[in-house]
């Protein structure tokens, strides 16, 4: 067992899907995996391993925000030898052409977090996706007529910004949407030379004010989950 995951060695597959919400992890496991087994409920952060198309796959909640998520990224990689991490998360659109329930592939992740300040003093590391996973996701979406958008996203430390219009400056530089974990994932994946990709579903729009309900965010992001399960 690691500090925050109660699984034994071998309980977790080499490929792990990671939503922030542990209830979404439970839903993905019970909806898509054969014979899912819960290997973790420490702090309510549920984790499951099952089989998808004859391949073992795990699904693990990460919590909200880079500090929480990086605990799980680190332990999964260093303690359980995970090789592929695919974040499946919700995000808020910054643009009119990125609409509710659209799927975004995060090619890179800008951030308001200070996560890399100590790693790279007086410099800025650019967290980026694994090219192979990214192209696999693009190809799968194309072959299954799933519309996707790909580009730079913002991993923010604050859900409730002091300035509600601050997103506009990011949008002017091509940022598609905001979420809270991807920059941390891509940084840790780079450090340990594992593959990582964030696949995001737009759950709300800062432009129009539209939003999905909490139950919808837990249970209706089917296409994002199918892409993730079929590419690793």
Catalytic hit among 11, 21, 102, 204: 204
SS3 107: strand
Q: How far is CA 23 from the centre of its chain?
A: 14
Whether residue 133 contacts residue 89, with contact meaning beta carbons closer than 8 Å, is answered with: no
Whether residue 94 contacts residue 171, with contact meaning beta carbons closer than 8 Å, is answered with: yes
With a CB cutoff of 8 Å and minimum separation 6, the contacts of 122 are none
Dist. CA 154–CA 93, nearest whole Å:
10
* Token duo for residue 110: 């800008």
Q: Which residues of 67-84 are buried (b: 16+ CB within 10 A; e: fewer)?
A: ebbbbbbbbbbebbebbb
Is residue 204 annotated as a catalytic residue, yes or no? yes
DSSP state of 7: P
* Token duo for residue 83: 């090789």
Length of the chain counted residue by residue: 232
- 216: buried, middle or exposed (CB in 10 Å: 19+, 13-18, 0-12)? middle
Question: What positions carry a catalytic annotation?
Answer: 204
């Amino acid at each position: 067992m690691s500090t925050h995951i109660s699984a034994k060695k071998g309980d977790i597959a080499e490929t792990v899907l990671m939503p922030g919400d542990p209830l979404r992890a439970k839903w993905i496991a019970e909806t898509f995996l054969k014979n899912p087994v819960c290997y973790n409920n420490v702090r309510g952060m549920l984790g499951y391993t099952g089989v998808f198309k004859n391949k073992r796959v795990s699904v693990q909640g990460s919590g909200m925000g880079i500090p929480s998520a990086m605990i799980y990224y680190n332990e999964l990689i260093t303690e359980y030898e995970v090789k592929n991490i695919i974040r499946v998360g919700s995000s808020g659109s910054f643009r009119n052409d990125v609409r509710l329930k659209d799927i975004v592939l995060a090619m890179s992740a800008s951030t308001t977090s200070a996560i890399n300040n100590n790693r790279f003093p007086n410099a800025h590391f650019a967290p980026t996706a694994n090219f192979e996973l990214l192209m696999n996701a693009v190809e799968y979406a194309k072959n299954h007529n799933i519309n996707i958008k790909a580009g730079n996203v913002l991993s923010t430390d604050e859900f409730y910004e002091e300035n509600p219009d601050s997103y506009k400056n990011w949008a002017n530089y091509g940022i598609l949407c905001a979420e809270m974990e991807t920059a941390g994932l891509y940084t840790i994946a780079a450090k340990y030379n594992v593959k990582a990709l964030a696949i995001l579903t737009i759950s709300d729009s800062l432009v129009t004010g539209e939003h999905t309900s909490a139950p919808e965010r837990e249970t209706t992001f089917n296409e994002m989950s199918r892409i993730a399960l079929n590419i690793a």
